[in-house]
Amino acid sequence: MTNDRTVIPILSLRGLRKSFGAAEIIRGVDLDLRAGERHALIGPNGAGKSTLFHLISGNLRPSAGEIVLGGQSIGGWSPERVNRHGLARSFQITNIFPKLSVFENVRIAVMQRHRLQYNAWRRIERIGALREETERLLEQVRLQHQAATLGGEMTYSAQRSLELAMTLASNPQVVLLDEPMAGMSSEETQYTAELIREVTAGRTLLLVEHDMDVVFSLGERVSVLVYGQVIATGTPDEIRRHDGVREAYLGEEHAA
């Protein structure tokens, strides 16, 4: 947690803009993500957090500005290309394969790194490395006992854990988590926060969350997005004391 300004950021947004027709949603965002840090992104509803995630992960093309990942400009890249370059994201609305088993869900996610997508000559059960890595991931998110359950039939928080496992399967350097605690009870939230802390150790994490306790405990640095612009970046304490932020956002913390 040093303030070393010579550290080269692993993910960098420069002057990023995105318009939909006449509506400009992202209006010039500058953000630096340092390697290995856990960075939280907060902001009121409609600020553009999801749009920002879509831009970074390749779902949307920027209207202007730059997205630099590990020294490579990735703005406008397709989602698969971005993922192969070391960035993975999760989704706010659980985005799994509901009719496949938990094991299969994770295995599909793992398969890509093993370059097996066109392999039609080996029985999949025979590929040991695949099975081992899938089991390891399941253990990491503590789903190993539900491996045979169908994805669509699990509890909500178990599905979120599955979503997390799938996001990590490609062994990404940078992980984007989109409201991972959405809809969870406080127990589930605590559990998931711990899980996230564990599994993202050694990786860079950009996290969007509304639960302020999670934000301030997990986040090493916090950025605040309001009306498509980052109005403040700093440690949780700095953000808590920032006047502009209090005005724009923290004042409504308990209203929602």
Partner 1 sequence: MRTTLSLVAAGVALLAALPALLPAGLLIASIQMLIAALFASAYGMLSGRAGMLSFGHAAYFGIGAFATVHAMNALGGTGLLPTPLMPLVGAAAGLAVGIVAGWFATQRSGTSFAMITLAIAELLHALAPQLKGLFGGESGLSTMRAPAWGLGFGSTVQVYYLTLAWVLLCLGLLYFHSRTPAGRLMLALRENGHRLRFLGYDVHGLGVSAFAISAMFSGVAGALQALGNEAANYAVFDAGVSAGVVLNSTIGGVGSFLGPALGAALMTFFGYAASDATQSWLLYQGVLFVLVMMFAPAGLAGLVAAGARLVERRGWRTAASVALLAAGATVLLGAGGVFIVEMLQRLCSQDYRALAQAAAELPAVRLLERPWSPTALSTWMLPAGLLACGTVLAVVARRRVGSAT
Q: By CB under 8 A, tell whether 112 contacts partner 1.
A: yes
Rounded Cα distance, 26 and 228, in Å: 4
Output the CA torsion 148→163→61→244 (10° steps): 170
Stretch that binds partner 1, among 22-30, 118-126, 184-192, 202-210 (CB under 8 A): 118-126
Q: By CB under 8 A, tell whether 134 contacts partner 1.
A: no
Residues linked to residue 68 through DSSP beta bridges, in sequence order: 12, 73
- Least separation in angstroms between residue 56's CB and partner 1 is 11
- Least separation in angstroms between residue 233's CB and partner 1 is 26
The phi and psi torsions of 52 (rounded to 5 degrees) equal: -60, -45
Q: Which is nearer to partner 1, 100 or 212 (CB)?
A: 100
Q: Which of 42, 111, 175, 207 binds partner 1 (CB under 8 A)?
A: 111
User: Beta strands 87-89 and 174-178: pairing type?
Assistant: parallel
Long-range contacts from 243-250, C-beta under 8 angstroms, 24+ separation: 248/44, 248/224, 249/42, 249/43, 249/44, 249/224, 250/212
Q: By CB under 8 A, tell whether 99 contacts partner 1.
A: yes
Q: Which is nearer to partner 1, 172 or 228 (CB)?
A: 172
DSSP 184-229: --HHHHHHHHHHHHHHTTTSEEEEE-S-HHHHHHH-SEEEEEETTE
DSSP 8-state symbol, 93: S
- Least separation in angstroms between residue 13's CB and partner 1 is 19
Stretch that binds partner 1, among 39-47, 51-59, 139-147, 228-236 (CB under 8 A): 51-59
Rounded Cα distance, 114 and 117, in Å: 8
As given in the structure block, the two tokens for residue 134 are 């899938």
Q: By CB under 8 A, tell whether 166 contacts partner 1.
A: yes
- Least separation in angstroms between residue 64's CB and partner 1 is 24
Q: By CB under 8 A, tell whether 121 contacts partner 1.
A: yes
Q: By CB under 8 A, tell whether 57 contacts partner 1.
A: yes
Residues that bind partner 1 (CB under 8 A): 57-59, 78-80, 83-84, 88-89, 91, 95-100, 104, 107-109, 111-113, 116-125, 127, 130, 166, 169-170
